[in-house]
Structure 1
Amino acid sequence: MLMEELPPEAALDGPPQNADHLLRRALGTVREERHQAVRRRGRITALTSTFVVAGVLAGGVWMGQGMGVGEIGADGETLQGTSAAGAHLAVKVTDTEGGLRLVATVDGMQDGEACWLVVHTKDGRKFTAGSWRAHDGEVTLAGSAMVRAGDVAGVSVMNHDHQPLVTAS
């Protein structure tokens, strides 16, 4: 009964004469197909990586346009001022959806002085946009205030006693 379930090839004595050749050919085909699939995946990965890097670089260039200090652009205005003591202040004021964005460059502050970047409005209000501890040399900092750019009368650097050290208007 068991013999009836076996295929007729099972009754042959040993493997077919060309079995080694067939096995080598089949394994060679499998290896070649696998090698081609790996190479194809490598090419797709390299191409995708190239596009991602190019996109990141293009996005960085696009986002970085017009963000330099001291430029007067359609989207902002630069205010400048110098104090009698020789301190310099240049502030780029840009109107944003939520208020005001400032990029200030300050030079000539006394080393160790506590400083606040304060926005003055035309109606007399004051908004603190940033603070730092001064050191020798130039400092560039970013800040923001909840006021429209059209309402700005000037920007000051004030000390701990709320005295203006330098004002830009």
Structure 2
Amino acid sequence: MLMEELPPEAALNGPPHNADHLLQRTLGTVREERHQAVRRRGRITAMTSTLMVAGVLAGGVWMGQGMGVSGTDDVDALLQGTSPTGAHMAVKVTDTEGGLRLVATVDGVQDGEACWLVVHTSDGRTFTAGSWRAHEGEVTLAGSAMVRAADVAGVSVVNHDRQPLVTAS
């Protein structure tokens, strides 16, 4: 009578013969789902970090370009000059917050000559804005000086003895 109350599965000796395979398959599925969740979180973290770094860099570039002011420079003066020896110079002078920026194109200076780019102000002061050793052909260089563009009377290229080679005004 006691045997009639038990289900037929209780009469089996031990677990079913494929029980280990079922357990292994279940554990494998659980491990795979956990591994996928960890990888998904890693991808989301990496993507978020990349977007944050890109945003910071873009903001730095934006701020470095004058906080959204148009990308074109407002050239305050374009100075040109030619020397009796045939040297030519053109200088773009642009006012900035800390002074001025110069972009000078010089041609015709003797090869190997030590040169300095010098800014002359209307009140007689001079500022060295850059230096280089001349070579054959045209040279374009950038420089800066702590003076307002409105105060610039001229820009010269001078040699080692501070003798002017070409002056633009």
Q: Distance in 2 between matches of 1:80 and 1:54?
A: 42
Amino acid in structure 1 at the alignment position of 2:25: R
Q: Deviations over 1:37-81 (max 9, x none)?
A: 325533663576478568757938x84933xxxxxx435322222
Q: Deviations over 1:95-150 (max 9, x none)?
A: 22222222222121110111110111111221111111111122222222221111
Q: Secondary structure at the match of 1:137?
A: coil
Q: State the match for 1:78 in structure 2.
A: 78
TM-score by length of 2: 0.70
Q: State the match for 1:165 in structure 2.
A: 165
Q: State the match for 1:113 in structure 2.
A: 113
TM-score by length of 1: 0.70
Q: Does 1:149 align with 2:149?
A: yes
Q: Does 1:29 align with 2:30?
A: yes
Select the structure of larger CA radius of gyration: 2
Q: Secondary structure at the match of 2:153?
A: strand
Q: Secondary structure at the match of 2:85?
A: coil
- Note the 1:1-169 alignment, pairs <5 A: 16-17=15-16, 18-39=19-40, 41-42=42-43, 45=46, 49=50, 59=61, 63=65, 65-66=71-72, 73-74=73-74, 76-169=76-169
- Return 5+ residue gaps in structure 2 as ranges: 1-13
How has the CA–CA distance of structure 1 residues 82 and 26 changed in structure 2, closer, same or farther, with 3 Å as cutoff? same
Structure 1 residue 29, shift from structure 2 partner = 2.3
Q: State the match for 1:5 in structure 2.
A: none
Contact 2:113 2:159 in 1 (8 A): yes
Number of aligned residue pairs: give it: 148
How has the CA–CA distance of structure 1 residues 104 and 16 changed in structure 2, closer, same or farther, with 3 Å as cutoff? farther
Q: State the match for 2:8 in structure 1.
A: none
How has the CA–CA distance of structure 1 residues 102 and 45 changed in structure 2, closer, same or farther, with 3 Å as cutoff? same
State the superposition RMSD in angstroms. 3.1
Amino acid in structure 1 at the alignment position of 2:112: G
* Sequence identity (%): 60
- Return 5+ residue gaps in structure 1 as ranges: 1-14, 67-72
